[in-house]
Amino acid sequence: MATMLDRGQIRRIDGGITAPKGYRAAGIHCGIKAEARDLALIVSDTLASAAGMFTTNLVKAAPVLLSQEKIQSGAAQAIVVNSGNANACTGAQGWADAQEMARLTAQALGVAEEFVLVASTGVIGIPLPMASLRAGIARLPEALSRDGAAAAEAILTTDAFPKTSAVCLDLGGATVVIGGMAKGAGMIHPTMATTLAVLTTDAAVPAPLLRAALRQAVDQSFNVISVDGDTSTNDTVFLLANGRAGGAPLTEDDEAFARFTEALTVVAADLARMVVRDGEGATKLVTVAVRGARTPSDARRVMSAVMTSPLVKTAIYGGEPNWGRILAAAGRSGAALVPDLVEIAIAGIPVVRGGLGVPEALARAAEAMAQSEYEIVIDLHLGSGAATGWTCDLNEGYVKINAGYMT
């Protein structure tokens, strides 16, 4: 079925996090990292509706716990983010430091502390260098601008490149913009949020609807990606909506709300795919599409098992159409499966029919796997359940990065 993006009703634009009206951002170097930018600030000119989703890991960083508490109000105006240090597993001092980050940011901006959210990303278990952060936060307001590029750079850790996206669409006579930025290359897996991301919009969306839209968008983006099967202590996705585009607030039964949610999902999916493409050491971005499952949850089980299989991921790296690894992963997923019914295609080339390999297709499939992007389609022929996710290859680069991450 054609989407609004296909029909041109959602239009991709430049600008990222500051593309919507009424947002400014900054990214500076404060001294957590040796040289690169390591402190970011995103500010709405007015108080905004706010929603967030956070890691399901039971070990949660102090800024996650603090922001989970703050966002219950459904309102926020600023988000301060440091990279290079996760402020996770740092005890009472970590909690106090996260609170101080919010307090100092509020004072620097002249806004209420309760409306400042906090996020951190980086090495776990090391206290924040608060002297550097205090000096850096004081400099952030003067660095604010309508260009969000520096902020997108300041949240990176092992990432190879910044990740930004923005779209616009017409809603109720107003042109609404949605923008976003994300970081992530390792500790990426679909159990929310799998990364750190900030999304902004100038649409007028009440907080309860904003939460619903974010849940749906994340379910089809950040929750269907995997690099390594690990989920961080700091995973966070924030969404702010300040209403500066004009127009009436969206309502639950309004068609405009469904259109807004679809556009939000486009931005989130753009960012999620960039996270996988930038997987630590990754050379391939592979879409895993499961069709014909008995239920949607079964389709997700198969998708996740294939996306996270080290054997499948190393075969992707080697360009080897080892369909047995794919079928084996599907079979252990816990989903209903009849081996004799399964069909598998790699890059559009059928390699399994009726549970049996197609030997004459393997050479063509191997050649197609040299592409930097392609699709693996698995059809179980048991029902209408379907799921689509994104994964990458696993190779020596990942090992090298993570064997010396702290040093």
Q: Which pairs from 5-10 meet CB under 8 Å and 24+ separation?
A: 5/167, 5/262, 5/266, 9/169, 9/170, 9/259, 10/167, 10/168, 10/169, 10/262, 10/263, 10/266
Q: Is the bond preceding 2 in cis, omega lying within 30 degrees of 0?
A: no
Residue 194 among the catalytic residues: yes
Catalytic residue among 157, 194, 195, 236: 194
CA triple 302-304-310, angle to 5 deg: 110
Rg (CA), the chain: 22
Strand, helix or coil for residue 352: strand
Strand, helix or coil for residue 27: strand
Query: Does the CA dihedral 184-188-193-199 come out positive or negative?
Result: positive
Is residue 180 within 8 Å of residue 288, measured between CB atoms?
no
> Among 245, 171, 252, 176, which Cα is nearest to 211's?
252
Altogether, the residues listed in the chain come to a count of: 407
> Among 46, 38, 43, 67, which Cα is nearest to 55's?
67
Rounded Cα distance between 351 and 369, Å, is 12
Rounded Cα distance between 374 and 288, Å, is 9
- Active-site residues, by number, are 194
